[in-house]
Amino acid sequence: MASSPPAAPSNFLRDIIAEDVKSGKHGGRVQTRFPPEPNGYLHIGHAKAICLDFGLADEFGGHTNLRFDDTNPEKEDIEYVESIKNDVNWLGFRWDGLYYASDYFGQLYEWAIKLIKDGNAYVDDSSAEEIRKNRGTLTEPGKDSPYRNRSVEENLNLFERMRAGEFPDGSRVLRAKIDMSSPNLNMRDPVMYRILHARHHRTGDKWPIYPMYDFAHGQSDSLEKVTHSMCSLEFADHQPLYNWFIAQLGIFPSRQIEFDRLSLTYTMMSKRKLRRLVEEGRVTGWHDPRMPTLSGMRRRGYTPEAIRNFVTAAGVSRTNGIVELAMLEHFVREDLNKRALRVMAVLKPLKIIIDNYPENQVEEMDAVNNPEDASAGTRKVPFSRVLYIEQDDFREDPPKGYFRLSPGREVRLRYGYFITAKSLVKNEKGELIEVHCTYDPATRGGNSPDGRKVKSTIHWVSAAHAVDAVVRNYETLFSKENPDDVAPGQDFTANLNPNSLEVIADAKLEPSLASAAVANRYQFERLGYFCVDPDSKPGKPVFNRTVALKDTWAKVERKHKG
RNA sequence: UGGGCCGUCGACUAAUGGUAGGUCAAGUGCCUUUGGAGCACUUUGUCUAGGUUCGAAUCCUAGCGGCCCAGCCA
């Protein structure tokens, strides 16, 4: 059972849409789109945009398209479009229309011709360097290009020849004729088309010229009759241009609305930097469970419900904030608590021998699969004379407040018996090898008939029945909340957490886990949530720790140590 | 420095001129065959200074602080 999503708080996007619907704008119709560029994998930041684009449209009975903004063939690849489709679906959303900006190359070309004929666009022979120089600066206006006042005929002729592939890359561009002295740099005769003799993953070699984002995005929205085009804050300066093209072309007036991106502590959303991590081998790939990509989180064991609930709870505004990772982890635990089956697993084994338990006896103990969900039923767990418990669950010299096993103390083995530690065996180096205990046969199942209480219940696995497993524990990829907070001369890689991955080669699992299917999620009692990694082999499962359980004792101990 | 956007508990976010509320985090207690979960409670906030108003987080002015923009990337 998935957790119920938090009540959606009001936000300015919903307010705008609600008002438009109420006033009957566009006949009350709501159409949105999610427009990724297929040049990388989707991350948790995109999940916010996806939830907004799909979620808001859905709330108002509207529709959402998935549109690939594939106007830069040099960076894009079919691999990315497939992963993006997969991730959107995994998150739980279904698009109405599937489009590509490249579907519109023909129409865009026609519209460029119209702008030229109307005297609103011109071919510029300047080099990129010259264009940059003439653009001016933040404080100084730009200068008109010497090619700005070419005749319509000449512009038409040149642009048609650009399209025909007559000119080399970078030799000319088509520019909108707006205002070289605008305080908004985007309005200083922005480039509409560049020459790029590059093979496009969908249109092949058909086009030697490609439209820029600014000459594709708004028009694509318009073609799809998008009513509310939501994008991130850094595009706010592009809105006047977005509107300008729509007005000059006299086409459907889509409206752009900007919102803040999602930022999270201890990670980063920059595709460029994530790509570096992948390419430099700092992680195992885009799917590495430490990555903030949706594919990484999926492999880590995060659920789509948890991510959606988190995104909703984090909200949306126009403020640049950074959400604490702890909040995401809260929603992951909340969701998994309700759905994950409980099992017993010992990550760092310590051998326990119950001296007064019959040598060859095995008992099948009843264990509850999920205390949050009675319908999950029960299972049998074998109990025998030699067990493993967690090394952390025994202290020869227990500190104050430590309730677990220690010499002379009695604890409960979950679903098993009360046991008391009697003696220790150490190796020649003085390291603890095994603990000899006695058990109380009257406490089977974990209850004492005399009403005797123990302060602690610990988990265990029967040594003879244990399944060996590899367990990968993850910490944050970066050791600083803000990975970009570095000393001069360093970059974000200096903040990589050297302990972000801990591989445990010899964890001991209860036998029910021998055939756990890939991607299945479990709670290892008292430890955390874990899911089965695709690297698993028959008889040798590999588990990823999704998130640890809250650890009150660790907190207490930390405080005592100061 | 020109333009744009934005400043509310430690974090995120509501309050649409009329009781500053919610979630996370932190803390306390209860409960517990997971030191889990759950339940109850608690702490902390409107960037500053003026102004308008019966009344300002909200409107106005100024200041301070942050983010974005000078790709033939998106």
User: Can you give A273-342 as a three-state secondary structure string?
Assistant: HHHHHHHCCCCCCCCCCCCCEHHHHHHHCCCHHHHHHHHHHHCCCCCCCCECHHHHHHHHHHHHHHHCEE
Nearest nucleotide, C1' to the C-alpha of A170?
B72
Nearest nucleotide, C1' to the C-alpha of A125?
B72
Query: What pLDDT, on a 0 to 100 scale, did the predictor assign at position A150?
Result: 97
Query: Å from A235 (CA) to B63 (C1')?
Result: 28
Cβ–Cβ < 8 Å for A49, A314: no
Comparing every residue's Cα with the C1' atom of nucleotide B7, the nearest one is: A319
Kindly list the catalytic residues of A. Answer: 37, 261, 271
Burial class of residue A143 in the structure, from the number of CB atoms within 10 Å of its CB (0-12 exposed, 13-18 middle, 19+ buried): middle
C-beta atoms surrounding A105 within 10 Å: 21
Query: Å from A466 (CA) to B11 (C1')?
Result: 43
Distance between CA atoms of residues A358 and A348, nearest Å: 26
Query: What pLDDT, on a 0 to 100 scale, did the predictor assign at position A1?
Result: 32
Nearest nucleotide, C1' to the C-alpha of A184?
B3
Burial class of residue A154 in the structure, from the number of CB atoms within 10 Å of its CB (0-12 exposed, 13-18 middle, 19+ buried): middle
Query: Å from A28 (CA) to B45 (C1')?
Result: 39
Q: Which nucleotides of B are covered by protein (CB under 7 A)?
A: 1-8, 10-16, 21-27, 33-38, 66-74
Query: What are the CA-CA distances from residue A223 to residues A66, A100, A216, A254 (Å)?
Result: 14, 12, 10, 9
In the chain, the amino acid numbered A49 is A
Distance between CA atoms of residues A88 and A100, nearest Å: 16
Comparing every residue's Cα with the C1' atom of nucleotide B67, the nearest one is: A320
Query: Å from A333 (CA) to B27 (C1')?
Result: 21
Comparing every residue's Cα with the C1' atom of nucleotide B74, the nearest one is: A213
Nearest to A446 by CA among A374, A373, A522, A368: A368
Nearest nucleotide, C1' to the C-alpha of A372?
B37
Nearest nucleotide, C1' to the C-alpha of A444?
B33
Query: Å from A496 (CA) to B44 (C1')?
Result: 33
Distance between CA atoms of residues A23 and A13, nearest Å: 16
Cβ–Cβ < 8 Å for A40, A274: yes
Instruction: Using DSSP, state whether A83 is helix, strand or coil.
Output: helix
The terminus-to-terminus CA distance of chain A in angstroms comes to: 41
Query: What pLDDT, on a 0 to 100 scale, did the predictor assign at position A7?
Result: 55
Query: Å from A233 (CA) to B5 (C1')?
Result: 8
Comparing every residue's Cα with the C1' atom of nucleotide B13, the nearest one is: A315
Query: Å from A344 (CA) to B36 (C1')?
Result: 13
Burial class of residue A240 in the structure, from the number of CB atoms within 10 Å of its CB (0-12 exposed, 13-18 middle, 19+ buried): middle
Distance between CA atoms of residues A292 and A42, nearest Å: 9
Can you spell out the DSSP letters for A7-39? PPPP-HHHHHHHHHHHHTGGGG--EEEE---SS
Comparing every residue's Cα with the C1' atom of nucleotide B34, the nearest one is: A526
Query: Å from A340 (CA) to B34 (C1')?
Result: 13
Phi-psi category of A424—alpha, beta or left, where left has phi over 0 and alpha has psi -120 to 50?
beta
pLDDT by residue for chain A (562 residues), tens only, comes to 333 444 566 899 999 999 999 999 999 999 999 999 999 999 999 999 999 999 999 999 999 999 999 999 999 999 999 999 999 999 999 999 999 999 999 999 999 999 999 999 999 999 999 999 999 999 999 999 999 999 999 999 999 999 999 999 999 999 999 999 999 999 999 999 999 999 999 999 999 999 999 999 999 999 999 999 999 999 999 999 999 999 999 999 999 999 999 999 999 999 999 999 999 999 999 999 999 999 999 999 999 999 999 999 999 999 999 999 999 999 999 999 999 999 999 999 999 999 999 999 999 999 999 999 999 999 999 999 999 999 999 999 999 999 999 999 999 999 999 999 999 999 999 999 999 999 999 999 999 999 999 999 999 999 999 999 999 999 999 999 999 999 888 999 999 999 999 999 999 999 999 989 999 999 999 999 999 999 999 889 999 999 999 999 999 988 877 5
Nearest nucleotide, C1' to the C-alpha of A131?
B72
Comparing every residue's Cα with the C1' atom of nucleotide B4, the nearest one is: A237
In the chain, the amino acid numbered A540 is K
Burial class of residue A360 in the structure, from the number of CB atoms within 10 Å of its CB (0-12 exposed, 13-18 middle, 19+ buried): exposed
